[in-house]
Structure 1
Amino acid sequence: MNKTLKIYNQLKNYPLGKKLFSIIVCRTAPYFGTIKPLITHLEANHCECQISKRKRVHNHINTVHVIAICNGLEMAMGVMAEATVPKHLRWIPKGMSVEYTAKAGTDIRCVAKMQPEDWQPGEQEVVVKAYDINNVVVVEGIIRLWISEKKKC
């Protein structure tokens, strides 16, 4: 178990433990803090992140702005990758493609998943989806990663 997953597992059962873990992630990557996310589930190859529908993430039609959702999807993917990447590999995002499939009028659950066998050097795709509270997919897409061997010192 790597450091990221170990910290999450140590904190998740405490009151506000998931909130504290989410704050730690946002301190590491400050832009994620703009959506005030909450990591609600983390295991190897799977992460879920909650975005609350509130004024600060609204667009002009009073729904959750798709860029806020993309931020949540990227956070879910990044935390999943950090919690899963084998010790001899490293990763970096190369791009994101998304489709808006429905209005995002409620809180949003961002999900990133990958298969264990995908952790190979080269370009890999991570499936990402955002759901409303009724489990309707509001955004779905792919985040492309470049995975490479760590340099030996």
Structure 2
Amino acid sequence: MNETTSVSALLENNRLAKVVKSIKGYPKFMQSFLLNFVIRRTVKLVGTAKVDVLKLTKEESQFRIQNRKKVQNHIGTIHAAAMALIAETATGMVVGMNVPDDKYLVIKTLKVDFLKRAVGSLTATAKLSEAQRLAILNQDKGEVDVPVSVIDDEGKEPIECTMIWAWTPKRR
């Protein structure tokens, strides 16, 4: 692609963005169910942990994981691996909304610092800037550091994360 390719051209060559757009054509009461069904079925661990999609656009994603028995540790809080899962899911999905289908998306760095015990459920929000989205769209290969905030039910951040995603061309 050339440097003048716009982000609006993305919908034409990104399967995930097309699916999200098509789900928005359904009645409001069905949209959340359908989006969760598709994401959970595609990413099996997200389905096993019952991660909920709250928002998914090219600019931002928001996911929630409930503090349920299946994702708890020995002290009854969300397990460290599930905490990393929610952050990885939010960052990966927002990048996934922007990577053209002729590229592979892989996580390059997943660094999680555990700051405090999480209270209740967790909500992860990841955002991409316009510049980051254009880089993903226009560069054959590259990487992006995706900011993510993970908040518990007390409104505090129990973890700080660094998530770097990379993309490379698919071999034909």
Please report the TM-score for the alignment, with normalisation by the length of structure 1.
Answer: 0.84
User: 2 CA distance for matches of 1:9 and 1:134?
Assistant: 33
* Residue number in structure 2 paired with 1:63: 77
1:42-71 deviation digits (Å, cap 9, x = unpaired): 111311101011111111111111211111
Q: Tell me which amino acid in the other structure corresponds to 1:124.
A: V
- Displacement, 1:112? 1.9
CA distance in structure 2 between the partners assigned to 1:54 and 1:89 by the alignment:
35
Distance 1:107 1:132 in 2: 6
1:90-129 map, 5 Å: 90-118=104-132, 119=136, 120=139, 121-129=141-149
1:135 aligns with 2:155: yes
Aligned to 1:38: 52
Secondary structure of residue in 2 paired with 1:15: helix
Asked whether the 8 Å contact 1:97–1:142 carries over to 2, the reply is: yes
What runs of 5+ residues in structure 2 fail to find an aligned partner?
1-10
2:72 is the alignment partner of 1:52: no
Q: Could you tell me how far apart the structure 2 residues matched to 1:71 and 1:8 are? A: 21
1:21 partner letter: L
- Name whichever structure is richer in strand by fraction: 1
Indicate conservation of the 8 Å contact 1:93/1:144, yes or no: yes
Residue in 1 that maps onto 2:3: none
**Unpaired runs of at least 5, structure 1:** none
1:93 positional shift = 1.0
CA RMSD of aligned residues (A): 2.1
CA–CA separation in structure 2 for the residues paired with 1:95 and 1:72: 15
How many residue pairs get aligned? The number is 152
2:29 alignment partner, SS class:
coil
Tell me if the contact between 1:62 and 1:105 (Cα under 8 Å) persists in the aligned partners.
no
Instruction: After superposing the two structures, state which structure 1 stretch, 142-151 or 4-13, moved more.
Output: 4-13
Once the two structures are TM-superposed, the CA of residue 40 in structure 1 deviates from its matched residue by: 0.2
Instruction: Specify the code of the residue in structure 1 equivalent to 2:67.
Output: K
Name the SS of the counterpart of 1:137 in structure 2.
coil
The alpha carbon displacement at 1:144 in A equals 1.5
Q: Does the alignment pair 1:7 with 2:19?
A: yes
The answer to whether the Cα contact below 8 Å between 1:19 and 1:38 also exists between their aligned partners in 2 is no
8 A contact 1:113–1:126 mirrored in 2: yes
In structure 2, C-alpha distance between the alignment counterparts of 1:5 and 1:145, rounded to whole Å:
18
Computing the radius of gyration from Cα coordinates, the structure with the larger value is: 2
What whole-Å deviation, never above 9, does each CA across 1:93-134 have from its counterpart, x for those lacking one?
112001112221211101222223222432321122211123
Provide the C-alpha distance between the structure 1 equivalents of 2:21 and 2:101, rounded to a whole number of angstroms.
19
- Amino acid corresponding to residue 20 of structure 2 in structure 1: Y
